Amino acid sequence: MAVETRQGHTFGDRMPRKEDGRFIRGRGHYVDDIQLPGMLHSAILRSPFAHARINGIDVSAALDHPKVRAVITGKDLEEQGLAWMPTIAGDTQAVLATDKVRFQGQEVAFVVADDRYSAQDALELIEVDYEPLPVIVETPRALDPDAPVIRDDKAEQTNNIIFEWEHGDREATERAFEQADVTVKQEMIYPRVHPAPMETCGAVADYDVGTEKMTLWVTSQAPHAHRTLAAIVTGLPEQQIRIISPDIGGGFGNKVPIYPGYVCVAVASLVLGRPVKWMESRAENLMSTSFARDYHMVGEIAANKDGNILGVRVDVLSDHGAFNAHAQPGDIWPMGFFAIFPSCYDAPAAYAEATGVYSNKAPGGIAYRCSFRVTEAIYLMERTMDVLADELGMDPVELRRKNLIPAEKQPYESVMGWTYDGGDYHAALDEALRIADYQALLEEQKEAREQGRIMGIGVSTFTEIVGAGPKKKCHIAGLEMFDSAELRIHPTGKAVLKIGVQSQGQGHETTFAQIVAGELGIPAEDVDVHHGDTDHTPYGLGTYGSRSTPVGGAAAAVVSRKIREKAKKIAAHLLEAAEGDLEWVDGGFQVKGSPGQRKEMGEIAFAAYTNTPPDEEAGLEGVAYYDPPEMTYPFGAYICVVEIDKGTGQVDVKRFIAVDDCGVRINPMIVEGQIHGGLAQGIGTALMEVIEFDEEGNHLNSNFMDYLIPTSMEVPKEWETGETVTPSTHHPLGARGVAESPTVGSPAAVVNAVVDALSPYGVRHVDMPLKPAKIWQILRENRVEPF
């Protein structure tokens, strides 16, 4: 599929990134870098209580501050019908609190001042009369009969239940469990964690009174969707709103929702007629923006005595915080794509039921590279598989080998209603075992145990489900989940590609150029990729859930092929040949059997403006909106090796082997970088990341001193990555998307390794994060002494 270009890079190359030039010079353009004449700054007053009635707010002292220009409260917004906004999950969320505050850190007032220091000073001048209410922090308590109703703002809400959901065949699964020789059941928590991108969230709003146009620079992973929602929420005409996602310093799902700060800054700019900036602090980011996970799960597997899976059953309690600000790919998917949980195994029956609840914690849930809850699903399956292996006395690798879907069954129709797009899971597993030298590892472990060292090996095999999504199955806030690409070739043969997805570090300016290069023979260096500005790009649904390559990349391929079709017509005209006699070779069209009669893409492009066929319009451009026929299913096999310090309980990840199959790789270097980053996040999740509260809902760690993300010292010396390449059966490029596979597959690999290390003491499960103090407790309970 890759086409030779005369000079420069193309599809499949390890091409250094085009966007790097500005970042390495410190000339990236992030939201906080924006400085406009007359720009004001803002700060948000946040609730110190997790649950409290608001009896009054006195902003007079703040208004008296000489540098304060405005103070906005929930009451002010209420008058404009803006105190509440819709969420992507079909719920409502307070922009600024009116009746109550429902989580610690909730937005209560918005101060606009001349500079950021004064805005923060002014926060201390606002007085709020709070009346504390009982708090729900521990998720199961949300279902207590006497639990306070958190969302009493909604007339129909009489408890804390958001949804109840089920999927699969309950009866068939029950029968499987009745008939099974062996069943295992494991409770586990996937704790609340946070994506914590290095750049926090923020926005600059600039309402131009003269043109009545609102320009918003936002840290947004989905600028077009945000524009439509902004139009609906504010009543401003959509064509008068321009949303620009400039450079974004990491997203990982944290930058998908619309945050109150964005709405407030837009209102402030409208009212004051000046640009207003809002940038949150790290504490605000960790306390109030979209968190991830917080799933309380029970996994069960039924198997025969040989270890073949007969059925999988799952029960989940899902904590969404005070508002259901979840990003879900459709009303029928309140659990995202959690139903993928039978994963890469050939399970004849499966069933899941789930309840979603409110709590007095920050709103959200879908974030942190989770592919719409696939992280939770795979973690649950992989942990329960290991419990089953332990129950059967079987090597966890052998148990997986027995149950992995054989390649011949692809495209596989899962009992959960998904059609997988190809995959040889055994090959991926074998490759991981080879890189790890699994037998040698087992030997090493044996020796280590004899020496009294605690070493563990953990395996995780999985399939992902990404690339949302087909219109027959998915929508987000009602919008179909297509994506788009608009391509124009200039007379001098260079090109500009405008896309609807949104990079936050994924390298789209390079990879998408490589796609066009592969299709049209134009060097990737000559293809300029634009994204992020709703005025200048076609409508797209943004980047999250690893959808850029599956959906956006497909659109780029399709539009390139459309252009190639027109190019053929022009070539036929130039060569005075019939279209049917032409073939596409090496970046140009030539007469079949007569390679001397040839036109290069560059010549064709020039002709599109200077010598067009009589019945053709001038120009060489096209647009494609791609509706994916199915999701894509990248998969992998991971192996983690750990050693535990008997004295301190510290877990050291000594090796991490990751074999990923994301189909055809557009730029292998970029794929590897993505995998490395996700693996580091997975280790963070497994060992040290957790958002913690006390019983009153007070945050215990809303800063980087105590919310621990890995430094260069906590990751293994080398990420041992490998690949298999099984092209996607339906994607135009055979590609699948990959960025979330590492966060999906790795936490289980790490936890499985630690549990394996502790298995001589009868340990079957330990909940994340595997803090040293927790591991130490287990060691001492089992009389493992440091000396």
Partner 1 sequence: MRIQVNVNGESREADVEPRLLLVHFIRDVLGLTGTHWGCDTSNCGACTVHLDGEPVKSCTVLAVRANGHEVITIEGVSQGADLSLLQQGFREEHGLQCGFCTPGMIMTATALLERTPRPSEDEIREAISGNLCRCTGYQYIIRSIEWAAKHGAPTQVEVMP
Partner 2 sequence: MQVPARFEYEVAGSVEEAIELLQRHGPESRLLAGGHSLIPMMKLRLAFPEVLIDIHELDGELRYVREDGGVLRVGALARHRDLLESPVVRERYTLLADAEKFIADPLVRNMGTVGGSFAHADPSEDLPAAFVALGADVVVRGSQGERTIAMEDLSVGPFETAIEPDEILTEAWVSRAPEGSSYFKVERRAGDYASAALGVALWMSGEEIEDARIGMCGVGSTTLRAREAEEVLKGQKPDEELYRRAGERAAEECDPPDDARGTPEYKRDLVRVLVVRAMEQAVGRARGAEDRTADGR
What is the set of active-site residues?
A: 221, 369-370, 740
Q: With CB cut-offs between 5 and 8 Å by kind, which of partner 1, partner 2, none does residue 182 bind? A: none
Q: With CB cut-offs between 5 and 8 Å by kind, which of partner 2, partner 1, none does residue 247 bind? A: partner 1
Q: Which chain residues interact with partner 2 by CB under 8 A?
A: 116-117, 120-121, 281-283, 645, 647-650, 688, 692, 700-701, 705-706, 708, 710-714, 771-773, 776-777, 780, 786-787
Q: Least distance from C-beta 36 to partner 1, angstroms?
A: 12
Nearest CA to 636 among 464, 466, 387, 778? 464
Q: With CB cut-offs between 5 and 8 Å by kind, which of partner 2, partner 1, none does residue 761 bind? A: none
Nearer to partner 1 (CB atom), residue 21 or residue 452 = 21
Between the alpha carbon of residue 398 and those of residues 183, 383, 657, the distances in Å are: 18, 15, 18
Q: With CB cut-offs between 5 and 8 Å by kind, which of partner 2, partner 1, none does residue 16 bind? A: partner 1
As given in the structure block, the two tokens for residue 215 are 């320009």
Q: With CB cut-offs between 5 and 8 Å by kind, which of partner 2, partner 1, none does residue 33 bind? A: partner 1
Instruction: Collect all residues with Cβ–Cβ distance below 8 Å to 92 and sequence separation of at least 6.
Output: 84, 85, 86, 153, 154, 323
Nearer to partner 1 (CB atom), residue 117 or residue 761 = 117
Q: Least distance from C-beta 367 to partner 1, angstroms?
A: 13
Residue 491 and residue 502 in contact, taking contact as beta carbons nearer than 8 Å: no
Q: With CB cut-offs between 5 and 8 Å by kind, which of partner 1, partner 2, none does residue 536 bind? A: none
Q: Which chain residues interact with partner 1 by CB under 8 A?
A: 16-17, 19-28, 30, 32-33, 35, 115-117, 195-200, 247-250, 252, 281-283, 504-507, 669-670, 672-681, 703-705, 709, 711-713, 715, 717-719
Q: With CB cut-offs between 5 and 8 Å by kind, which of partner 1, partner 2, none does residue 701 bind? A: partner 2
Strands 527-530 and 495-499 turn out to be parallel
Q: Least distance from C-beta 645 to partner 2, angstroms?
A: 7
Nearer to partner 2 (CB atom), residue 200 or residue 215 = 200
Q: With CB cut-offs between 5 and 8 Å by kind, which of partner 1, partner 2, none does residue 492 bind? A: none
Q: Spell out the alpha helix ranges (H) of 451-535.
A: 508-520
Q: Least distance from C-beta 774 to partner 1, angstroms?
A: 23
Ordered DSSP codes for 343-360 = TTB--S-EEEEEEEE--S
**Rounded distance, CA 355 to CA 317, Å?**
5
Q: Least distance from C-beta 680 to partner 1, angstroms?
A: 4
Burial string for 673-682 (b: 16+ CB within 10 Å, else e) reads bbbbbbbbbb
Q: Least distance from C-beta 451 to partner 2, angstroms?
A: 12
Q: With CB cut-offs between 5 and 8 Å by kind, which of partner 2, partner 1, none does residue 648 bind? A: partner 2
Q: Least distance from C-beta 711 to partner 1, angstroms?
A: 5
Q: With CB cut-offs between 5 and 8 Å by kind, which of partner 2, partner 1, none does residue 120 bind? A: partner 2
DSSP helix/strand/coil, 625: strand
Nearer to partner 1 (CB atom), residue 69 or residue 102 = 69
CB count within 10 Å of CB 617 equals 10
Nearer to partner 1 (CB atom), residue 179 or residue 703 = 703
Nearer to partner 2 (CB atom), residue 119 or residue 476 = 119
Q: Least distance from C-beta 229 to partner 2, angstroms?
A: 28
Strands (E), 63-160: 68-73, 84-86, 92-94, 100-101, 107-113, 127-132
Nearer to partner 1 (CB atom), residue 44 or residue 59 = 44
Nearer to partner 2 (CB atom), residue 425 or residue 693 = 693
Q: With CB cut-offs between 5 and 8 Å by kind, which of partner 2, partner 1, none does residue 649 bind? A: partner 2
Residue 109 and residue 71 in contact, taking contact as beta carbons nearer than 8 Å: yes
CB count within 10 Å of CB 330 equals 17
Identity of residue 184: V
Between the alpha carbon of residue 784 and those of residues 252, 361, 456, 758, 760, the distances in Å are: 39, 38, 16, 10, 11
Task: Report the C-alpha dihedral over residues 425, 426, 429, 430, rounded to 10 degrees.
Answer: -150
Q: Least distance from C-beta 64 to partner 1, angstroms?
A: 20
Burial string for 235-258 (b: 16+ CB within 10 Å, else e) reads ebeeeebbbbbbbbbbbbbbbbbb
Ordered DSSP codes for 78-96 = HHTT-SEEE-TTS-EEESS
Nearer to partner 1 (CB atom), residue 30 or residue 584 = 30
Q: Least distance from C-beta 442 to partner 2, angstroms?
A: 21
As given in the structure block, the two tokens for residue 691 are 């958002």
Strands 40-46 and 276-279 turn out to be parallel
Would you call 67 exposed, middle or buried from its count of C-beta atoms within 10 A (0-12, 13-18, 19+)? middle
* Residue 675 falls in which region: left (phi positive, over 0), alpha (psi -120 to 50) or beta: alpha
- CA of residue 491 relative to chain centroid, distance: 39
- CA of residue 561 relative to chain centroid, distance: 29
Ordered DSSP codes for 392-439 = HT--HHHHHHHHBPPGGGPSPB-TTS-B-----HHHHHHHHHHHHTHH
Nearer to partner 1 (CB atom), residue 245 or residue 318 = 245
Long-range contact list for 441-447, CB < 8 A, 24+ apart?
441/639, 441/641
**Rounded distance, CA 546 to CA 463, Å?**
13
CB count within 10 Å of CB 455 equals 21
Q: With CB cut-offs between 5 and 8 Å by kind, which of partner 2, partner 1, none does residue 664 bind? A: none
Q: With CB cut-offs between 5 and 8 Å by kind, which of partner 2, partner 1, none does residue 22 bind? A: partner 1
Nearer to partner 1 (CB atom), residue 120 or residue 759 = 120
Nearer to partner 1 (CB atom), residue 578 or residue 713 = 713
Find the angle CA(620)-CA(621)-CA(625) to the nearest 5 degrees: 155
Please report where in the chains the tokens 């036929």 appear, as a residue: 572
**Rounded distance, CA 441 to CA 445, Å?**
6
- With residue 299 as reference, give the H or E element that holds it: strand 291-303
Q: Least distance from C-beta 642 to partner 1, angstroms?
A: 17
* Residue 769 falls in which region: left (phi positive, over 0), alpha (psi -120 to 50) or beta: beta
Nearer to partner 1 (CB atom), residue 343 or residue 511 = 511
Q: Least distance from C-beta 652 to partner 1, angstroms?
A: 14
Q: Least distance from C-beta 277 to partner 1, angstroms?
A: 10
Strands (E), 628-780: 635-644, 651-661, 719-723
